[in-house]
Homo-oligomer: A and B are copies of this chain.
């Protein structure tokens, strides 16, 4: 894959990765944080959908490739230090999290305990056909 010049502006970490935040472009909700390498970010821009680097699987992860919960990218932003990405996305299916919740940030610290603040919209078994998965 060709590597456009704008990719050189980014400060990739020692593993060649940068953290990428996905935010719902309409509601403003922060949906998730994942990681991208150069190929993932290049593919995200070329395809107009979020493509991350799966650290656990060691390969590109086209968000929604198994779940159908594609993130259509509206805007790609870079921070002042050039070491974090913000995507504003349209979340297909309204579910970003592999647990079937709208977003991954569903644990809230309350009096020294992490509490789940919302229930899944769909079960993971329903989304993934009963096979455990991380997408």
Contact = CB atoms under 8 A, between A and B. Distances in A.
Interface of A: 4-6, 9, 19, 21, 23, 27-30, 32-33, 45, 75-82, 84, 86, 97-99, 101, 104-109, 112-114, 117
A109 to B, nearest CB: 4
Given A78-B105, A80-B107, 16 more contacts: A4-B112, A6-B109, A6-B114, A19-B19, A19-B33, A19-B84, A27-B28, A45-B109, A75-B109, A77-B107, A78-B108, A79-B107, A80-B98, A80-B99, A80-B101, A86-B105
A13 to B, nearest CB: 10
Nearest first, the 9 A-B pairs at minimum CB distance are A28-B28, A33-B84, A79-B104, A77-B105, A78-B107, A76-B109, A86-B105, A80-B104, A79-B105
